[in-house]
Amino acid sequence: MTGFQLGKKLGKADSRAALNKFQMRKKLLKATNVATLAAVVVATISAGQAQAGVIGFDDLPESKIAIDNGYAGLNWHNFYYLNTSTYEYNPSGYANGTVSGSNVAYNAFANPAAVSIDSGAFNFNSVYLTGAWNDDLDILVEGFLDGELKYSREVTVDTNDPEEFQFNFLGIDFLRFTSLNSGTPAGYQGRGSHFVMDNFNYNTTKSVPEPLTILGSLTAGSFGLALHRKYKRKEQQNKPLD
């Protein structure tokens, strides 16, 4: 075999090795991008489960009086609601306590009422409160996590205007409101220690990634590492001898 023929043969081998190297790199890049994209999609879906906003109760149906569990992603215990524009006992603190729309929530039968979440936690940021019938009404607001009291604050309201209170109860799963049977009747037709609630400001929290997010990330990383090792082995096999 002449030197020219040998050089030509080695050149073909080098070309095949370069082509194989290029193809492996292309496959590695494509597979890694696909796996990474899958992980990102899963993470986006997980993050999308979090909820936030201001609850004005105005999208609740006229046919009911109790707030159902699951409304706005939360559970509601002993919270009723009413349309203040059609409420028969006006004037009252219900009408005066309306901030947006025409619906407001209240503690049924003046008993303690609560808001909770099935899984995870939420931040209770702020809310507007008003006395329904009594001025100088005291309301105890408590935030819990896993049954442990984390926050406690007492506020005082009247029947004339809604007052916004900033609570900033962070990372709780149970929020309780208790009117303390205090205050003095404001002279309306009704009586009792009911309170009016509107524009409930909250957001749910995710302290750790969802299991699917972790799985997606690990899958992307493991798949990419495996292909990288395969590529390195192939590269060693195709390396021309000296």
**Residue 7 belongs to some domain of the structure:** no
Same domain, 117 and 38: no
Inter-residue contact 72 to 51 (CB < 8 Å): yes
Higher pLDDT residue, 14 or 110?
A: 110
Same domain, 128 and 217: no
pLDDT above 70 covers a percentage of the chain that reads: 64
* pLDDT tens for each residue of 177-197: 999 988 999 999 999 999 999
**Residue 5 belongs to some domain of the structure:** no
Burial 97-132 (b: 16+ CB within 10 A, else e): bbbebebbbbbbebeebbbbbeebbbbbbebbbbbb
Q: Kindly report the CATH number assigned to the domain that includes residue 98.
A: 2.60.120.1350
**Residue 101 belongs to some domain of the structure:** yes
**Residue 242 belongs to some domain of the structure:** no
Same domain, 43 and 65: no
Same domain, 61 and 162: yes
Higher pLDDT residue, 216 or 97?
A: 97
Higher pLDDT residue, 175 or 222?
A: 175
Would you state the pLDDT for residue 242?
46
Same domain, 228 and 173: no
Count of structural domains within the chain: 2
Distance CA(222)–CA(217), nearest Å, equals 9
Same domain, 143 and 231: no
Average pLDDT of the chain is 80
Full domain range(s) for residue 223:
17-48+209-237
pLDDT above 90 covers a percentage of the chain that reads: 62
**Residue 6 belongs to some domain of the structure:** no
Same domain, 69 and 163: yes
Neighbours of 91 (CB within 10 A): 13
Same domain, 109 and 188: yes
Inter-residue contact 79 to 107 (CB < 8 Å): yes
Confidence band of 121 (pLDDT split at 50, 70, 90): very high
pTM beyond 0.85: no
**Residue 79 belongs to some domain of the structure:** yes
Same domain, 178 and 218: no
Would you state the pLDDT for residue 206?
64
Same domain, 42 and 125: no
Same domain, 28 and 139: no
**Residue 4 belongs to some domain of the structure:** no
Same domain, 38 and 72: no
**Cα angle at 88 between 84 and 92, to 5 degrees?**
60
**Closest Cα to residue 137, out of 183, 198, 192, 178?**
183
The backbone torsions φ and ψ at residue 97, rounded to the nearest 5 degrees and listed phi first, read: -90, 5
